[in-house]
Amino acid sequence: MNRTQVLTLFILLHLASIFSIFPERIISATSQGHWIPVAILFLVELLVLWLYLKALSKFPGQTVLDICNGAVSKWGTRLIAVPLLIFLYIELLLLMYFQSVEIKAVLLQRTPTSATSAVFIILCFYAAWKGLTVLVRASVGLCILLMPFILFSMLISIKNYKFSYIFPIWDSKLSFFSHTDFYVCTVILAGFLFLGMIPAKQGDQFRKVALAVGIIFVFALGSVYVPLLVFGQETVANLQYPMLMASDTIDLEWVVFDWLPSFYVVASSALGVLKVSVLLWMLVELVHQLFAPRINRIWVISLVCVSLYLISLWIPNVSVLDSYLNLNTYFCLYSVIVFPIIVFVAAQWRRKKVSA
C-alpha cells in the first residue's frame, strides 16, 4: 500500500463519521455560526495529528505500540491502551447499530433490524479478517465508486437553498462548548488513529495529511450547511437524518430511482462498512498484540463480532444510543487527544533514552 491509498482511506473514514451523526449533532449544539465548532474540531485534529505523526516519524518502521513498549514497557502500554480499546468497542457497537437502523428505515422497512445487523457484521468480519492492506487498497475503488453518489446527494438540493438561513454567522458566546453534542462530534477525529498502526517507512507526511484534512473540512461544512440552507435552524434541529431529508426535497424525472435518498444511504452504508472494518481490525490487533498474542486473530475477531451482535439485539431503539454516545465521549476524547499526546511524549522519552 502506498501513501495515496492510505490518504484515501483516511478521508473515507472521516466521511463515514460525518455522514452518520455529525450534521445533527453540530446543529443541535449551536443555533448560529455553525462553522465555528466545525473549524475548532479540525484545528484540534491538525494539532494532535502533528504530534502523532511527529512521534511516528522519529521511529521509522515502528507502530505506536512499538514506541510505547520501548518507552514504558508492555504493561505500561496495556494501561495506556485500555481506554482506547473501550472506545473502539463502543464505537463499533454504535456504528453497526446506527447503520443497520438507517438501512432498515430507508431501504428494507420490512426486514428486522436483527437481520440487517447480522449481514452488516458479517461483511465487516470478512473485511477485517482480510487485513488492513486489503482495506487500504479497497478504499481507492470505493472512493471512485462512492464519491459521485456523495457529491450528488450533497448538491442535488441546491435549488432549494435559502441563503438567508446561514445567518447569524457568528456565535459570540461560543455556547456550543457547554453542549454535550459538540463533544460527541469529536468522534470524527478518530479517523486518524489507524495511521499509528501502520509502520511508517517515510518521514513526516504532515503536509499531505493536512491537505486531506482540508478536504474533509469542506465535506463536514457541507454536511451541516446543506440541510441548514434547505430547512432552516428551527426545522432542521428536529430532524433525525437532516442530510437524508435534504436530498428528499427534490424530484428529478430523469433519475431512474424513485427515491433520491437511496444514493445517500448506499454511500453512507458502504462507508460505514469500511469504517467498522478498520476499527474492528484495530481492536483485534491491539487485543492480539497486547493481551492475547498466542490466540489466533480469527478467534479474536469472531468473539468480538458475536458479542457486538448479541449486545445490539438488546438495544431497544435508536434513541437509547444517546446514552451510549455520551458515555463514549469520555473515551473518545482520551483516544483522539490524550492518546496522541502520550505517544508523542513516549517517543520523546524513548529518543532521549536511546541518545543517553
* CATH architecture of residue range(s) 3-355: Up-down Bundle (1.20)
| CA distance readout (Å), 219 to 49, 92, 186, 295, 329 | 19, 23, 16, 41, 22
Per-residue pLDDT band at 350 (split at 50, 70, 90):
confident
Q: What is the pTM of this model?
A: 0.91
What are 103-148's pLDDT values in tens digits?
877 777 788 888 888 998 999 999 999 999 999 999 999 999 888 8
Q: At what angle do helices 339-355 and 64-106 cross, to 10 degrees?
A: 160
Specify the range with the lowest mean pLDDT, choosing from 173-182, 251-260, 299-308.
251-260
Predicted local distance difference test score (pLDDT) of residue 254: 47
Please state which of the ranges 84-88, 240-244, 260-264 shows the lowest mean pLDDT.
260-264
On the question of pLDDT at 87 being above 50, the answer is yes
